[in-house]
Amino acid sequence: MSTPGISLLGSSAILFEAPGETTLLTQQRIWALSREVAGWPETGEAVPGMNNLMLRFARPPRTLDALITRLKVAWEAAEPLPLDGRSIELDVTYGGEGGPHMADVIRHTGLGIDDIVALHTAPDYPVFALGSHPGYCYLGGMDPRLTTPRRQVPVLRIPGGAVSIGGSQTGVSASDGPSGWNTIGTTSAVFFDPAGNPPALFQPGDILRLRAVRVLR
C-alpha cells in the first residue's frame, strides 16, 4: 500500500490521487473527501475523477503546506460514502462504422468481437464521476481483459453516443468532439441539457447497463 499522490496543476488546482487499484470502495471515499473539501475556504470546486480528486482553487493560497496536510488528514478520516443512484440501460450497436477502432481492441486484447461484446455488456457499470465534456461519465467495473491503451494520436472528432475504451476504462461520449480513446460501438441518448436541474443525465453513484442490440463485423 503506497501513499496518496498530491501534485499541482499550475496555480489553479491541486490533484489528490488515491493509492492502489481502481475500486468502487476507494471511489466512495473520494466522494466523501469531495464533500468535505467542497466546504473549505480555498475551494472553488471539488471535482472527483477516477479514484482521485481535483481541488480547483477559488483563489490560490499563499502557501501550500497546511492545505496538503489537511488533505492527507481528511483522506485518512474519509469513510466510504455510498450514493444510491438510479439504474439506466442503453442500447449499443457494436463494431461497424460506429465502432471504427474495434479492430485495434481485437488486436490488442487477442479476443474475438463476440467475446469483447460479451465482456463489455456483462457488468453493472457504476458512474464514478463526470468529466471530459458536458454530461460524460467515467464508469467503473470494466473487465480488465478489455484494457487497451489510449491512441497514439487523439482522433479530432468522434460522434456523440460513441462507446469507447481508454486504458482500463470505458465510457459513452455525450456529444461530438475529440478523443484519445478507442471507439468500439455507438448508442443514442440525451446526456446533457444546460437548462436542466441538474443539467447532466447521470450523477455519480448511478448504474449504467449496456445492451448489445447489434454486432456488426
Partner 1 sequence: MIEILSDTALATVQDLGRAGSLGAGVGCAGAMDDLALIAGNLLLGNAQGDAAIEVQVFPFQLRFETRLSFALTGADCGATLDGMPLPPWWACTAEAGQVLRLGPPRRGALQASRAYLCLAGGVDVPMMLGSRSTQLRGAFGGFNGRALRRGDRIAAGPATAPLPAGGFGLEPAAIGLALECDRVPALRVLPAAEYDRYTATSQDNLWRAPWRITPQSDRYGYRLAGPALEPLAPIELRSHGIVPGVIQVPHGGQPIVQMRDAQPSGGYPKIGTIIDADLWRLGQAPIGSRVRFVRCSWDEAIAAAEENQRWIARAARLADLYRQHRAAA
Tell me which stretch binds partner 1 (CB under 8 A): 86-94, 109-117, 191-199, 206-214. 191-199
* Number of other CB atoms surrounding residue 196 within 10 Å: 11
CA distance 26 to 75: 10
Asked if residues 205 and 127 have their Cβ atoms less than 8 Å apart, the reply is yes
| CB-nearer residue toward partner 1: 170 or 186 | 170
| CB-nearer residue toward partner 1: 8 or 122 | 8
Q: Peptide bond preceding 144: is omega within 30 degrees of 0, i.e. cis?
A: no
Grid coordinates belonging to 147: 484494457
Asked if residues 26 and 16 have their Cβ atoms less than 8 Å apart, the reply is no
Q: Which of 23, 109, 121, 175 binds partner 1 (CB under 8 A)?
A: 175
Site residues (CB under 8 A) for partner 1, limited to 42-81: 44-54, 56, 60, 62-64
Burial class (CB in 10 A: 0-12, 13-18, 19+), 94: buried
Per rule CB under 8 A, is residue 108 in the interface with partner 1? no
Per rule CB under 8 A, is residue 96 in the interface with partner 1? no
Closest to 93 measured CA to CA, from 210, 181, 200: 210
- The pattern of x and - marking residues 8 through 47 that bind partner 1 according to CB under 8 A reads xxxxxx-x-x----x---------------------xxxx
Closest to 99 measured CA to CA, from 6, 165, 154, 193: 165
Per rule CB under 8 A, is residue 5 in the interface with partner 1? yes
CA distance 10 to 96: 42
Tell me which stretch binds partner 1 (CB under 8 A): 2-10, 67-75, 95-103, 207-215. 2-10
Per rule CB under 8 A, is residue 153 in the interface with partner 1? yes
Per rule CB under 8 A, is residue 200 in the interface with partner 1? yes
Site residues (vs partner 1, CB under 8 A): 5, 7-13, 15, 17, 22, 44-54, 56, 60, 62-64, 129-138, 149-154, 166-169, 174-178, 180, 192, 194-195, 198-200
